[in-house]
Amino acid sequence: MTEEEKKEYEEFLQWKAEKAKKEAEQTKQENEESAKKDSQGNGIIFIIVGILFVLIILIIAAKGCNNKKEDMLAEVAIEEDSLATESIGEPASGVPIAANNGKEWTFTTEIDEMTDTKNIWASIVSDNSVNLSSPYGLSNCRVTVRYMKKWGGFDVLVQLTSGQIHGSEYHNENYVMVRFDDEKPIKYWYNEAADASSDCVFIRNKSDFIARCKKAKSIKVEVPIFQGGRPVFTFEVTSPLEWKE
């Protein structure tokens, strides 16, 4: 082998060694990048699994809260009322809707912690109920005479246990018809509750209404109900309203 051939052969060996080295480095780099991608992929999968787990926990918790809320609503006969001027404003203990079956006026009292005055509620529940379309179902009517000094004295409330009282003031339909004993029916205009409760209204001519309740043993109230017409609720009491201070 001549010197020139020997030199060429050495250069070839050197080139081959450098090529092998580059290929090895490239393979190593590709392996590292692949491992990095796999690691990132595993991390993303782990994050997704974690998010799904949290969502499942939240759904289960929300379902539990809803069930608890439904149980509480089933046990409570009336809704909690606001302290707005024309809110119902009943005591924290509440007044059982069906406590007296419409036979007696039921009285409930509470001391106002801010004014030290006594708040008084006298309520009767209708003897009959109406069957409203879903989601309301059976509904009774309740008439309440309320005294709260900080809201100006007496109020008269007409309330449904289920459903919405619906009378358009624009069309002069915001009234209830009431008949005391065998007297002629009387039209009583009402105001809606200040807290926007749709199941309760406030009689405007409350003095006349209360005075007649103190004489009547039979009361019939015709109430406009959303998608329920104007059904008549009957209240038969053993004795007229006798206000208890």
Average pLDDT for 214-243: 95
pLDDT in tens, 31-82: 777 667 666 656 677 788 778 877 787 777 666 655 554 454 444 333 333 3
pLDDT in tens, 21-45: 776 777 777 777 766 766 665 667 7
201-238: buried (b, 16+ CB within 10 Å) or exposed (e) per residue? bbbeebeebbebbeebeebbbbbbbeebeebbbebebe
Name the fold adopted by 106-236.
Immunoglobulin-like (2.60.40)
DSSP annotation of 135: T
Considering the chain, what percentage of its residues have pLDDT values greater than 90? 44
Residue 78 has what pLDDT?
A: 34
User: pLDDT class for 89, splitting at 50, 70, 90?
Assistant: low
- Model's pTM, two decimal places? 0.60
